């Protein structure tokens, strides 16, 4: 059984849905299934105003800006020149319903009030599907394993494992509602098509800060996602995903990005809960603010 390593590096500088970061993966071809995943690689950072630039060399002098940050370093990595990873609608803007933006804005403005106002990522639950593949600033690696009747994706961030049956079994019944939905895969020529339904209404399509305007937008139980992984040559897979939720978005929208081979990438342990003080510190800061306000009011 053959084995590949995959890494993608994407930089999106402009538009309402800007994604920045890198990701990787591995896969195994198998006797009966199609060999989907080759390895991929890309390097070089792109500035909207100055063209090509190296990570850590902000002024172009080659002097650098400090110690190497290996988690976020994109030195010598070719990144996409797209101004938005959203390719449909053509303007690159996700068609979000006003009520969904209002709910997102309220939760983010009141993040110190209640733990339920945090995204599932900040609570160490999940980055979501397809959000887990959208590149972030660090820890966006994934390992892809392909065997008879299954494809599995292990995400570096939140250390999730997603199992995708490809043996033709039907989706789970409507009584099952999952954070990341219920994935079912099938082959369309050289493309792995993954259909995802059965979501709950507790998560978000995108969770991390790099997704900007789409971060923390709620999802409903009507969410339907279709991913396509297409191997176009030995070193490249094209990934695209169509997202449809008639209760949240006015129309469907599509993200597309290339995945490039980088065989020397390593996944690092992502210990989310251990030592993560973000949620308790934020909430305690809110309670301190409340005490200060009560004291001021009593005077």
Using pLDDT thresholds of 50, 70 and 90, give the confidence band for residue 69: low
pLDDT digit string, tens, across residues 203-235 = 998 887 778 888 899 999 999 999 999 988 887
Average pLDDT over residues 183-195: 95
Q: Which backbone phi and psi does 165 adopt, to 5 degrees?
A: -65, 140
CA distance 151 to 161: 11
Q: pTM score, two decimals?
A: 0.75
Q: Does residue 82 or residue 63 have the better pLDDT?
A: 82
Residue 116's contacts (CB-CB under 8 Å, 6 or more residues apart) are: none
pLDDT digit string, tens, across residues 246-266 = 999 999 999 998 877 777 777
Which residue segment(s) compose the domain that 108 sits in?
Answer: 3-63+71-298
Q: Does residue 252 or residue 27 have the better pLDDT?
A: 252
Number of domains observed in the structure of the chain: 1
CA distance 8 to 145: 16
pLDDT above 70 as % of the chain: 73
Judge contact between 157 and 132, C-beta under 8 A: yes
pLDDT for residue 56: 46
pLDDT for residue 160: 86
Judge contact between 85 and 256, C-beta under 8 A: yes
């Amino acid at each position: 059984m053959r084995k590949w390593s995959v890494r993608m590096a994407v930089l999106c500088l402009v538009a309402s849905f800007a994604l920045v970061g890198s990701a990787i993966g591995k896969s195994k071809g198998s006797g009966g299934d199609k060999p989907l995943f080759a390895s991929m690689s890309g390097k070089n950072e792109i500035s909207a105003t100055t063209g090509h630039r190296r990570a850590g060399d902000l002024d172009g002098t080659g002097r650098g800006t400090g110690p190497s940050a290996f988690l976020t370093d994109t030195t010598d990595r070719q990144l996409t020149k797209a101004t938005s990873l959203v390719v449909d609608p053509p303007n690159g803007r996700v068609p979000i319903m006003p009520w969904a933006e209002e709910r997102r804005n309220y939760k983010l403005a009141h993040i110190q009030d209640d733990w339920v106002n945090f995204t599932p990522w900040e609570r160490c639950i999940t980055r979501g599907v397809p959000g887990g593949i959208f590149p972030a600033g660090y820890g966006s690696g994934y390992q892809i394993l392909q065997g008879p009747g299954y494809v599995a994706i292990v995400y570096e961030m939140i250390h999730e494992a997603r199992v995708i049956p490809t043996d033709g079994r039907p989706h789970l019944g409507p009584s099952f509602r999952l954070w990341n939905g219920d994935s079912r895969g099938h082959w369309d020529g050289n493309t792995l098509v993954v259909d995802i339904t059965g979501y709950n209404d507790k998560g978000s399509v995108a969770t991390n800060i790099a997704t900007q305007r789409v971060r923390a937008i709620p999802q409903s139980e009507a969410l339907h996602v279709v991913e396509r992984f297409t191997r176009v040559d030995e070193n490249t897979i094209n990934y695209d995903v169509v997202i449809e939720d008639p209760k949240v978005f006015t129309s469907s929208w599509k993200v597309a990005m290339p995945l490039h081979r980088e065989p020397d990438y390593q996944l690092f342990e992502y210990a989310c809960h251990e030592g993560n003080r973000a949620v308790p510190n934020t909430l305690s800061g809110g309670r301190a603010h409340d005490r200060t306000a009560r004291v001021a009011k009593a005077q």
